[in-house]
Amino acid sequence: MDFKEIESLVANAKDHNRLSREKLAEEFKPFIINVSNRTFINGYDAQDIQNECYQILFRCVSLYDLSKHKFVAYATNGITNSINYLIKKSINRRSSEGFEALSLSYNLKYMLHSTHLSLEEMLCTKEKFESLRAAINNSNVEDKELILFVYFKNNSLKNYAHWKNMCYSTAYSKKKGVLDKIKKELYI
C-alpha cells in the first residue's frame, strides 16, 4: 500500500470519483478479506461481513479529515471497531433471540406465559362477573351506593365518609360489612 496514493484516492473519492472509490476498495480488499475470514457473527456469512467492511470503509472516506494524512490507520481502526461492535451486539442479542432463548423442558408452558385467556378462563371470568353483579344488585340501596362510589367511581373511603357526613371508622366498618355480605352471597 502506497500511503500517498491512498490519500489522493481518498481525496478524489470524497469528490464522488467512482474510479477512485473502486481503486480504494481494491487497495483495502486484502485487509477486508482477512477480517471477514477471522470473524464470526451470528446470522452473517463471510460475504455479509465483507459488505459491512466496505460500507464502513466508505463511511470512513466521507468522515475523514484530509489534513490528517493517516487514512489507512483511520480506516483500519474504523473497520475493526465497527466489526467488534457487531460481534458484541450479536452476543447480546443471542441470549434473547433464536433457539438459545428457549430452554425446552416439561414446564415450558409455565415459562412462556400467555396473555391470552383460554376458553375455560374466559367463561369462568364471565361467570364471576355475573355472580358479582347479581350480588351487588341484591344489596340494599345504601350498600350499592358505597360500592359504586368507592370501587366504580374510584373515590376514596375518606371522601365517602365526608360525603355521607360520617366518621371514617364508621365508613370503614360499613364497607367491611358490605364486602362480607357480598362474599357470603358469592360463595353460597
CATH 1.20.1440 applies to domain 3-101: no
Largest CA distance in the chain: 96
Which tens digits make up the pLDDT trace of 19-47?
A: 988 998 899 899 989 988 888 887 788 88
pLDDT of res. 43:
77
Q: What integer pLDDT is reported at residue 87 of this predicted model? A: 84
**Which pLDDT score, from 0 to 100, does residue 117 have?**
65
Instruction: Please give the pLDDT value at position 167.
Output: 92
What does the pLDDT read at residue 113? Answer: 56
pLDDT for residue 136: 83
pLDDT in tens, 86-103: 888 887 765 555 555 555
Where helices occur in the chain by DSSP H, the ranges are 3-14, 18-38, 46-63, 71-94, 108-111, 119-137, 141-147, 157-163, 168-186
For position 161, what pLDDT does the model report? 92
Closest CA to 77 of 58, 57, 91, 51: 57
Closest residue by Cα to residue 24 from 101, 76, 88:
76
How far does Cα 137 stand from its chain's mean position?
44
CATH for 119-186? Answer: 1.10.10
Mark the ranges of the chain whose per-residue pLDDT is less than 70: 1, 93-117, 188
Q: What is the structure's pLDDT at 162?
A: 92
* pLDDT value for 125: 78
> Looking up cell 482477512, which residue turns up?
34
- Backbone conformation region of residue 40, classed left if phi is above 0, alpha if psi is from -120 to 50, else beta: beta
Q: In which residue ranges of the chain is CATH 1.10.1740 found?
A: 3-101
Segments of the chain assigned to CATH 1.10.10: 119-186
Per-residue pLDDT, 95: 56
SS3 21: helix
